[in-house]
A and B are shown apart, each in its own frame.
Chain A
Amino acid sequence: MSAINNSTRLDDLSQRAKFQRWWQTGLEREGLFGYLLLIPMLVVVLGLIGYPFVLSVYFSLTDKLLAQPDFQFVGLKNYASLLEDPIFIRTLVNTFNYSVTAVIAKLFFGLIMALVLNEVVRMRRIVRAAFLLPWVAPSSLSILAWVWMFDSQFSIITYFLNQLGFVEGKIAWLGQPALAMAAVQTVNIWRGIPFFGMTILAALVTVPKELYEAAIVDGANAWNRFVSVTLPHIAPVLAVVTLFSFVVTLGDFQIVWILTKGGPLNSTHLIATLAFRTAIRSADVGRGSAIAAFLFPFLMFIIYMQIRYLRRED
């Protein structure tokens, strides 16, 4: 009896040792260990992004209404009807106007910010941290501050413009379509510049100093050094950060929702705000999902270009 027990225990120990060996060897194998590390992120991405996304695309092909369990497959009907909807067409134009203008401005000011910060020597860390504040501050809080700054009666911007003599009286910042669009773009630019600035700054510090010294010896002025040395070195980073920001800005929601709710006259509605209003407030989940998914092929193209570019750089 005792012999049998000892034999079983030996078998167990042998099994455990085998498993430990397999596990240790596995951990040492780079490929397997890499996949193991990926699992938590994969679960998060598939569960919180992948599943809702697939469901959303599926709903966009149905006549699903909020809180109604029964719905039918309608093919591309929702997408076709969007093309006849004046609010959607306007929203599409708004979204591109908003994104293109904001991204160009963020790139321009972010580049300037990075170039300036790269030259700052004294209190460098504090200055850099201060410039990051718009980006790290909770968006809902900072946007609420902008609500007051664009208030038609108590705007501090209007106050200063009045004091400086540029305008007289009140300005309905969020009451005129062109001004309202400029206002929401301004907030997006304000929030986005630090991201551009810090990313470009990270690229700037990698440019070898010797190249600048050689350029100076060759008689290059500041502009020549920027065009011939700096720009070629940071170009890959500029491309990636621009494409990334464009994708994120196209999906912007909170700035517009808090500031204007898409108004006035739907002049600041973006794809995300219109999709939210249609799917949740108006209860048309199918149509709202179609609005949300409308730009997906375009975004896929941008992401494809981004990945292709990165691979080429590698």
Chain B
Amino acid sequence: MSYLRRNQKRSMTTLILILMAVVLSACQAQTVEVTRVVTEVETVTEEVEVMVTPTPAPEESFAGVTIEGIMRNSFIPAMNAIQANQAEVWGEETQGFADLTFSREWREQVAASIDSGAGGDISELFANQAFIYGDQLLDVSDIAEELADQYGGWYELAAEASVVDGVWRAIPRAYTAQAINFRTDVFEEAGIEKLPETYDELLEAARIIHEAGLPPAGFTMNQAGPNDSANFAYSLLWSYGGSEVLEDGCTVAINSDGTRAALEYMIELGQYMAPDVTAYDEGGNNRAFLAGEISMTQNATSIYWVAQQQAPDIAANIGHFKYPSGPNGRQEFVQINLLAIPAHTDNPEAAKNFLRWMMQEEQLSPLAQVGLTFYTPLLRSYDDAPTMPWNIDPVLEPLKGAADGGHLAGWPGPASRESAAAYENQTIVNMFASVLTGTDIETAVENAEAELNAVYSCN
């Protein structure tokens, strides 16, 4: 009996210890989360009060209707707060209810929702995803045309990302304007007076900085940091005349002189870059830049935004310039965010009303202002709107109109499922990363060609 009791006591003690460990871990996680939320709320409350201005009331009533939205969780908390507030205003005006969920795994949630035909009356999409879902999305051509008439027309890129078989399947809400972020004080110290306009000039600037012993350039090239890496890799490839596929969208064309020239350039640039660029994740170059480890990198304006919030002295020394041009001109890769309505929605009219309303200037403009070009509208009237960041802050001026002449993955072929798959494989990024880590050019091209042949087919 005593043996049994002793063992029971031991088991209980062990169980209690395990439970304590789990509870402690859970409490730790909860504390972090609560702290973050409190800070966010404090930070954005004032901004939100200013941003959510009275909006024109939607004409229709949707009493008792609830629409759900699966949205991207922005790293700028104010953007989520503003959208949540806007949804509330829409609900009050229409007697309906818009419930937006902001998630970091929003792409997976959208995929599950559309594939299963359940949930999500509004879905935020990314890059080529309108081509993945195709006719599983409602035709929103009428909204696209109205918006074009209202706001000076769309950039060409907008239609390229949204029109599937002649039908607008999504509304391109915004793109992430990228530029080369640089330290003005480092450039000054190195004696670089003219900002690089070509890749050769960029290389020269990187060389001068490196030889002066100043914080070097650091262009992310790693599949764990896919957005920044793809922006630089695709842009460089195209600007040197290379491409993964021909205009037909199916013939693999990576094995070209243009590709080899771009790879040679990358090897040369690599000599002057921070040695760990192939280890950066999506925030790696941000952290390195803010820590003073690097002085030049590809990025949206998140570095500038964080510096303004947390390190104003660094923000004062941040500048931007446009992606350079190469022998094939200035070709820039652009990442787009879109809003779509899944065809399975039970509330198509309410969803369309909400989508149309969210795209009005009163709603979109605050997002663009808070997003600091991270959320740049693809409608041309915003270029010269006095409220837009690039028309207010001279540091952001180079990002104005970055999508003009920009391309999606798979260019010069049309956006497609295959180009989305090749992008997800990070074939182009890995091709550049491999030459930075010692692979010879021919092997890198052969590997990329084999991977692309597994994705594209003309049959």
Contact = CB atoms under 8 A, between A and B. Distances in A.
B115 A67 contact: yes
A85 B25 CA distance: 41
A281 interface: yes
Interface in B91-130: 107-108, 111, 114-115
Interface in A84-142: 84-87, 125-126, 128-129, 132-133, 136-138, 141
A25 interface: no
Interface in A149-173: 151-154, 169-173
Contacts of A65: 132, 417
A141 B29 contact: yes
B70 to A, nearest CB: 14
Contacts of A262: 223
A254 B212 CA distance: 42
Contacts of A261: 223-224, 226, 281
A282 B425 contact: yes
B134 interface: yes
Nearest to B287: A153
B437 A67 contact: no
A172 B279 contact: yes
Contacts of A170: 275-276
Contact of B451 (A86, A137, A151, A174): A86
Contacts of A251: none
Contact of B107 (A68, A85, A281): A281
A153 B276 contact: yes
Interface string B304-338: 00000000000000000000000000000000000
Given A125-B14, A174-B224, A265-B433, A67 B278 contact: no
A265 B279 contact: no
Interface residues on B, range: 35 or more
Given A66-B132, A265-B430, A125 B114 contact: no
A266 interface: yes
A133 B21 contact: yes
A85 B449 CA distance: 11
A266 B433 CA distance: 11
Contacts of B108: 280
B209 to A, nearest CB: 18
A260 B10 CA distance: 41
Contact of B21 (A132, A172, A277): A132
A281 B114 CA distance: 13
Greatest chain A CB density within 10 A among B17, B136, B293 is at B17
A175 B417 contact: no
Interface string A286-301: 0000000000000000
Contacts of B223: 261-266
A81 to B, nearest CB: 7
A101 to B, nearest CB: 21
A260 to B, nearest CB: 5
A287 to B, nearest CB: 9
A203 interface: no
B290 to A, nearest CB: 10
Interface in B40-54: none
A184 to B, nearest CB: 12
B236 to A, nearest CB: 18
Contacts of B21: 129, 132-133, 136-137
A198 to B, nearest CB: 10
Interface in B361-391: none
Interface string A250-270: 000000000111111110000
A152 B284 contact: yes
B134 A68 contact: yes
Contact of B287 (A125, A132, A154): A154
Interface string B253-289: 0000000000000000000000111111100100110
B111 A81 contact: no
B447 A263 contact: no
A138 B226 contact: no
Contacts of A137: 21, 25
Contacts of A138: 25-26, 29
Given A66-B111, A261-B224, A283-B132, A128 B454 contact: no
Given A153-B293, A154-B287, A173-B279, A87 B17 contact: no
B192 interface: no
Interface string B422-438: 00111000100110010
Nearest to B17: A129
Interface in A231-251: none
B222 interface: yes
Nearest to B455: A282
Nearest to A284: B421
B134 to A, nearest CB: 7
B10 A67 contact: no
B291 interface: yes
Given A129-B14, A177-B437, A86 B454 contact: yes
Contacts of A7: none
Contact of A67 (B132, B279, B280, B433): B132
A224 interface: no
B73 interface: no
A265 B226 CA distance: 12
Contacts of A20: none
Given A129-B14, A136-B18, A263-B426, A153 B288 contact: yes
Contacts of B136: 67-68
Contact of B277 (A68, A151, A175, A278): A175
Contacts of B451: 85-87
A176 interface: yes
Contacts of A147: 281
B441 to A, nearest CB: 15
A137 B17 CA distance: 13
Contact of B276 (A133, A175, A177): A175
A104 B280 CA distance: 30
Given A67-B115, A86-B454, A280-B108, A172 B275 contact: yes
A141 B17 CA distance: 19
B8 interface: no
A152 B111 contact: no
Contact of B22 (A81, A84, A128, A136): A136
Contacts of B279: 152, 172-176, 264
A17 to B, nearest CB: 39
Contact of A283 (B13, B417, B426, B437): B417
A282 B111 contact: no
Given A67-B133, A153-B276, A170-B276, A263 B25 contact: no
9 closest A-B pairs by beta carbon, nearest first, are A175-B279, A263-B223, A152-B276, A172-B279, A129-B17, A175-B278, A282-B421, A172-B276, A152-B279
Interface of A: 65-68, 81, 84-87, 125-126, 128-129, 132-133, 136-138, 141, 147, 151-154, 169-177, 259-266, 277-278, 280-285
